Amino acid sequence: MNRPDTQAMFAAFTAALAEATTLEQIEAVRQAHTGKKSEIKLALRGLGAVPAEDRPAVAKEVNDVAQTMERALSEASAAIEARALAARLSEEWVDLSLPGLAPPRGARHPVISVEEDCLAVLRQLGFVRVDGPEVEHPYYNFDALNIPPHHPARDMQDTFWVDGGYLLRSHTTTVQARVLESRPPLPIRVASAGRVYRNEAVDATHLAMFHQLEGLWIDRGLTFAHLKGLLTTIAQSLYGRRPVRFKPKFYPYTEPSVGVDLQCGVCEGEGEVSGAACEACHGAGWVTILGAGMVHPKVFREFGYDPNEVSGIAFGLGTTRMASQRVGVSKVALLYGQDLRVHTRLHRSGV
């Protein structure tokens, strides 16, 4: 057998590999120059015909060329794959620091928005948020707040009673009673927000479940002037310069008591919408958004405070009704439905 011409084999391989630009072409070069029927494989199978004294050197030469071809094929394949990956990355590159293109997925609920805004104003005045249970003992819902057993609010038509003599709280004022019972040091400035329940007829401005926010300020020397100034600050912080008015009210746990009305935002105080009486204010042009007063002396005595030494301000914000005024809906039930137009209105207003 003649000595195999490995240089010619390698030269032919190199020329073919230089023209290969795809992985398929690389594979074709592999089959042609290192496959079973290639010259290099035939040379390896024919080593038995080489004289014994030359066989080791020829075998080494053929193996070295075969291994060199395999390395060259692997490097060429890796280079093509790297170029393909670089091209793909260049085409699909995304600047992750750019703002997202996804549309807004929703908006804060109007009631929650009003609730958080109220709490933000109160925090600036030194109030701290506290919470209480929704399933409450009658003592905290009635007795401790100067609501005697014969009061009509304790009848079945006003209160949801549950097993064990408990009830669903009818106001967040229950938290006021729990705070006073714990006797924290003066001054006391707390606020509590959440759901309340009343077994009453549902109409444009009333629901069996709604939201309130209770505030309590206990200190020495507080007067009705402090109460009026505080409530005016809250109303103007939430509604700007929309007119508000104060009117006498009665609450068993405050004396004197006052209600605060806000000029209706649906009919803008006119009492009519498109020629018909406004449902949001029942044609009055005003909507009551909160009740308040000076803490009743009997409530102080119930928890061991001397009403001659301390005084207090208590107020309850109807956050459900306030939310309906903010977004301009005439029926508070719309706030708890699935009509996304209510939330869109809030979102577009920037609230």
pLDDT of residue 89: 87
Reading the block at residue 243, the tokens are 């007119």
φ and ψ of 207, to 5 deg: -140, 160
pLDDT of residue 139: 94
pLDDT in tens, 272-296: 776 677 776 777 788 888 899 999 9
- Burial of residue 185 (CB within 10 Å: 0-12, 13-18, 19+) is exposed
d(CA 110, CA 324): 8
Residue with the bigger pLDDT between 327 and 112: it is 112
- Three-state SS at 165: helix
**CB 3 within 8 Å of CB 59:** no
Least confident of 81-85, 261-265, 347-351: 347-351
pLDDT of residue 319: 87
Instruction: Look at residue 43 and tell me whether its pLDDT is greater than 90.
Output: no
pLDDT in tens, 195-204: 999 887 766 5
Peptide bond into 187 cis (omega under 30): yes
Report which DSSP code applies to 197: E
Q: Given the DSSP bridges, would you call strands 276-277 and 286-295 parallel, antiparallel or unpaired?
A: unpaired
Q: Which residues pair with 130 in a beta bridge?
A: none
d(CA 29, CA 182): 89
Instruction: Look at residue 135 and tell me whether its pLDDT is greater than 60.
Output: yes
Q: Which CATH superfamily is domain 110-348 in?
A: Bira Bifunctional Protein; Domain 2 (3.30.930.10)
Q: What is the mean pLDDT of the chain?
A: 85
The pLDDT of 244-255, averaged and rounded, is: 90
**CB 315 within 8 Å of CB 227:** yes
The H helix count followed by the E strand count for the chain is 11, 11
pLDDT in tens, 80-131: 999 999 988 888 888 888 887 776 666 778 888 889 999 999 999 999 999 9
**CB 227 within 8 Å of CB 294:** yes
Work out the angle between the directed axes of helices 55-92 and 6-19 (0-180°, nearest 10).
Answer: 10
pLDDT of residue 247: 92
The pLDDT of 343-351, averaged and rounded, is: 51
Residue with the bigger pLDDT between 333 and 187: it is 187
**Domain extents for the chain?**
6-92, 110-348
pLDDT in tens, 154-197: 776 688 888 888 999 989 999 999 999 999 999 999 999 999 99
Reading the block at residue 153, the tokens are 């609010």
**CB 186 within 8 Å of CB 218:** yes
- Taken as a whole, the chain contains a residue count of 351
Confidence of residue 349 (pLDDT cuts 50, 70, 90): very low
pLDDT of residue 344: 64
Most confident listed range (49-53, 74-78, 188-192)? 188-192
Write the secondary structure of 201-225 as one string of H (helix), E (strand) and C (coil). CCECCECCEEEEEEEEEEECCCCHH
Instruction: Look at residue 244 and tell me whether its pLDDT is greater than 90.
Output: no
The pLDDT of 43-52, averaged and rounded, is: 77
φ and ψ of 107, to 5 deg: -145, 160
Instruction: Look at residue 50 and tell me whether its pLDDT is greater than 80.
Output: no
Instruction: Look at residue 63 and tell me whether its pLDDT is greater than 80.
Output: yes
Confidence of residue 351 (pLDDT cuts 50, 70, 90): very low
Query: Taking the CA of residue 152 as centre, how many other CA atoms within 13 Å lie in the half-sphere pointing to its CB?
Result: 4
